Structure 1
Amino acid sequence: MYKAIIVDDEAVVRVGLKNTINWNEHGFELIGDYANGRDAWEAVELHKPDLVISDISMPFMDGLELAGLISASFPYIKVIILTGYDEFDYAQQALRLKVSDFILKPITAREIRQLLDKVRAEMDEERQRHENLSSLQDQLKQSVPLLRERFLERLVVVGLSKTEINDRFAYFGLAPLAARSLVMVVDIDDFGDRELLSYEHDVEFLRFAAFNIFEEIAEKEQAILFRTREERMVAIVTSHDDDESLLYESAFRLAEDVRHQIEKYLKFTVTIGIGRVSLSPDMLPAAFKSALSALDYRFLFGKNRVLSILDLEGKPALASPPSLNWDRSLVSAVKSGSFEEAQQLIAQGILELKKALVPIETCFLQMQRVVLSLMNAIQEVIPADRETSLDSQMMLMDVYRFKTLDEIEGWLKQVVRAVMAEIADNRNHFTNSQVRRAVEYIETNYANDKMSLQEICRHVLMSTSYFSLVFKQHTGETFIEYLTGVRITKAKDLLQTTSLKFYEIAERVGYGDPNYFSILFKKHVGMTPKDYRENKGSGS
């Protein structure tokens, strides 16, 4: 018989639940009912019931606070929330507190009975599971492979004492390690044509298939294999021979065979890092670290390789990235719109990083420096009040998702293309804006007979040569042609709608010399101002 309590500040609810439900029939003994969470919590601490049915809104302590205390101190107690508040936030909090059920009021006696039967069934199942020794033993057996992997991971990552190593090796049935060992780390580069797999279990299947090939090959070399939580495959290769060259030869043979078989049968590639020899089991963390360092060189040399730290150590790496002005040259090319030059600079910079064997973190910092320079270039060119489509923070983080410099080269070329497009778009936007300002200025000040190209260029803050070029591109006319057109249009309007004398009209549209105005008007309209007024005035 399970023990239960009711918590609700409405007496009618408590009385109804007590009197309409035969609790014993459903496997429960109702040991108390309480009007607030504070009193209920005292009862929980004292009696430790198996089930608490509680409302949310109550004085002194609400139902969610009570559920939080129960979850923290007595996680095995089931809590059911009955509430009239149909609020998503309440439901979310209940889920976080691991509440068994969140039921909206009103609820019928029949629904309560069904709920109690359901909870009792769950409790019976949990009790049976915990009390069944054979089930626990089966679970332990199923957990052994995972426990073995976690032990081996701890062995190479943090290191263990010789006593603990010997005890755990005996427990997991592992052969004792020889005096000399080395570690190799296998990492999947990508899944090739399967890279766009939509289901996680397909990816897990491919990882399992790769590990299966690794196991079959490594069995011949009597290596100890396991997988890390970072989804990498690790082998500890041992040898009783004092000749380290034989150990390395065995490791290389194993690594090349694994790399070849995975590419051949699974159609994707792996890169393998081989570390230095460890002279005792407790020194394996240093060997593992050196294997990871060898694997890092994939960033420089590319994928689908076997990389040994012995082949790579001793090669001088520059203390700082080559071509310190690389980012400045690239930004200059971007600002000037020289796309081909920018692409060449990127290829040249990546090549220099490869030749110099610069450490991976230094490469990442160099890439971030380049991205920051590009973002600064955008800020210099594009006004602060105009949003851009480029997210600089995302770009700075994007660089860390690549495994090789070749991938970063392609990504950086795309970034530069996007930045140059953004700058070009802004230039067009700025130019359009300045031409509109110029047109507005002309149409507002056309009566000023002193208006000149230099004056309007000062107004829009552009050089006369560049302004003349873009104004003609946007309007199809030169500045003088456009200004003349505006003045003639205004003069035609004045001739039609006013009785002003011709010299007065000439003065109003910006011509101090009436004769020049008359000649210019006839050239553009095909008749003199007098003929135009007479013809238009008579309705011709």
Structure 2
Amino acid sequence: MYRILIAEDEMLVRLGLKSMIEWDKFNMKVIADVANGQDAWRVYEEHRPEIIITDIKMPVMDGMELISKIRLQDQHTKIVILTCLEQFNLLHKAMSLGVSDYIVKLTMTSEEMENVLQKLHTELQASQPQIKVIPNLDVDALKENIFKDFMFRNRYTENEFSNTIAGMNLRLKAIKLTLCIMEIDQYKQLQDKFKDEKGQLIRISLLNVLEEVLQSHGRGEAFHDEDNRYVLLFSFHDMVSEQKITEILQQILEHIRKVMLSYFNVSISFGISTQKNGYSALRLQYNDSIQVLEKKFFLGFGAVLNCREGSEKRFEEIIKEKLVQHIHKWETVDEEQSKAMYISVSNLYESGSLSIKADIKGMFVQWLQWPMSSLHVSDAGKVSLFASYADRLLRATILDQMIDISNEFLDQIIEIKSQRKLSREVIKVLSYIERSYAGDIPLQQAASHVGISPGYLSALFKKEMGINFVEYLLKFRIEKAKALLLSTQMKSYEIAERVGMDNHTYFSKMFKRTTGVGPREFRNQWMTNPVEENAGYEED
């Protein structure tokens, strides 16, 4: 099914487009509709839709800039312009960038739109790559088995493997060997596109393409590793200059990248080993390439990662810059929380753990918990909100996706807070609780703080918040405790004291009544390396 992205700043136009067309009729579906070019660019980078319908004039990034950026990477995506009569001078410029068609918004009809979609459907069908299947498939299977038998199963000696390779007339020598791991980014989308759940057709097709590219350069061999991963082996026995070797390798990998984008509309990432002599080094080179490719999580899709390049500290500095930039957005919601987030990032950086994927994911999940204490929704609503975003964060494949999910979560928090209309007195009490929850706060003291009677405050608070003052204070303290359990290594009794509940037994009992689990179990559920506690001390 062809995917469509709509970019239009007028909401009514977007809604009209989505509702006036029977998209299934053209084997199409709208995967996103956005209000500006910047959001459209993000969607394009992540999903690579076959069709983009875009306005010319939009905020943040206009349609002309969006089209220009897309055309720098991709000449195949179909683009339809939504225009007004006075924009025909811009339309002429847009058409020069390879725009497929245009629609005048003021006179747009469903019939006119369907005619354009039918035309695009025909063009896309005609341009669908004809996948060539290698008739001699057993050669690829044989080559794959030989390499894997030697590298992973120890079924050949180095001498036996060398003789076997020589007998197959492969483009390979045991001198100046470089191993590259090629990984298909967003492999599931490729499977969906080709309706290839098992991936067999994709594997055959990709190996065929790789063979053609490597053959054209007269260098290198490729075999399938697993799922979305392929191994490329190169020997540069005929070259002396290391600079020239690097240039040739870059040319080959760039050629592969362009072909994969053109034929399959996918991005790929590479992990490149250091250069070694002798086939005995292949397993080490493979492990090094896999390890360096792990950094793709932090750098994003399309990464080319070399074992020889850069220090680990500089790499962590890049990650830190990304995270600090993300934290700035949290300052708009809670300055105190944003400071705590910065501290958690700095701690990971100082300990050298900022490039450990599990630690980053755990930290993002912890951050979800922090705004919950000041969120005035039901307990079930908090659990649902937290669980849905935590699940998405844990399933994210790159850091940029996690940042986008976290930003989306923050936008939802802001929206929820803006919907709640509270009286001045209740707002002052909530602010007072936020500042003073670690101490003793009886109802009388809170009422005195805002200048009203305890009875009136009790009734007003229950009316506006849906729970009484004492229940709210307890839940607020529990939410703060949950955040501390996930973001610090403090013992649960220390946390109890920090949130104003000096009696640890009472704290543990209330925590379990509120969350369904005790403090230690809650921490173990979400932290990768939970702190050890005295099991006999905590009452779950």
TM-score normalised by structure 2 residue count: 0.44
TM-score normalised by structure 1 residue count: 0.44
